[in-house]
Chain A
Amino acid sequence: MLTIEREKQLVKAILDGDKQQFAEIVKAYQQIVANITYKLSGDRLDVEEICQQVFVELYTSLSRFRFESKLSTFIYSITVNLVNKALLQQRRIVSFDKAVIENEPGGHNEEEEIEKEERRRMLREAIGQLKPEQRTAVVLYSFEEFSYQEIADIMGVSLSKVESLIFRAKKNLKKIIENVKQ
């Protein structure tokens, strides 16, 4: 992550014609852009392709950026829009079937592991069934570094709408999972 001062320096340098400075921005944010893309789309989109599109889009719209928000917020906003647009074009339900999940430490008990894996599978499927806005809000909510206000800024909606979206997403997830269990 870059500091706001560093972001300003880089943006100014790029706008003055020093394109090579853009590489620093890409390096700093590419992994988090990849994670947001992956969490939002499951295995339906090519993460690297979306990352590339996000940064090219950022470059072309950089002259319009006025530092009213953080550059990172602007980047995540582009990411969310591009992913949702690409998913809409595919008209498919997001699936996490092939998602690679990092193993949590501990839990060597085989039975316990199977149960955990089953819960994860259900949750992943339930997330895939949410409406795009609810899924976006709940996915961003899972990032510890994003406050509700930042989620609102990224999504371009009000704070109260974010609260409502997350509340409804959780409620729907619970309902979907309970239906699957029955």
Chain B
Amino acid sequence: MNQDLFDNELRRELQNITCSRQVDVVDRVMEQVTKQQSHVNTLSPRRWRIAIGAVAACGAIVVAVGFTLVQKNVELEENVGYMVNSVTAYVDDYFAENENDAKKRFEYIEDFTIAGEDVNK
């Protein structure tokens, strides 16, 4: 059979296959539709479960991250406090030591100067 003839016959034949009885499902559909809760701006139970699950998961993540950060912050504060104390102590020691040194030097210079004056005299 020629392809065009076949195509035409196929299309005609398919067009002839048709549901002979008149279908009327309006009442059945409307009965089911009226039974359903209005779906406008509402979520199905499955979607509610998904939404609640998602919110709970996000909440858990936020709590976990927050807790970790607080822990780290405490540790950080402790570490920084320790470092500050150490540095302060070191600086105090340093100055105390240097002060002594400076005093000694000053006394030495003073002595020397006095001695020098004496020499000069």
Contact = CB atoms under 8 A, between A and B. Distances in A.
Contact of A27 (B18, B26, B38): B26
Interface residues of B, number: 31
A52 B25 contact: yes
A8 interface: no
Contacts of A139: 14
A104 B16 contact: yes
A16 B23 contact: no
Interface string B5-42: 01101110111111110111110111011101011110
Given A30-B25, A127-B14, A142-B14, A119 B9 contact: yes
Interface residues of A, number: 47
B52 interface: no
Chain B, interface SS category: helix
Contacts of A143: 15
Contacts of B25: 26, 30, 48, 51-52, 55
A99 interface: yes
Contacts of B41: 63
A120 interface: yes
A76 interface: no
B20 A102 contact: yes
Nearest to B13: A123
A23 interface: yes
Nearest to A55: B29
A2 B90 CA distance: 89
A19 B13 contact: no
B35 to A, nearest CB: 10
A170 B10 contact: yes
B1 interface: yes
Interface of A: 15-17, 19-20, 22-23, 26-27, 30-31, 33-35, 37-39, 47-48, 51-52, 55-56, 59-60, 62-63, 96, 99-102, 104, 119-120, 123-124, 127, 138-139, 141-144, 170, 173-174
Q: Which 7 A-B pairs have the closest CB atoms?
A: A142-B14, A38-B19, A34-B23, A100-B20, A55-B29, A34-B19, A51-B25
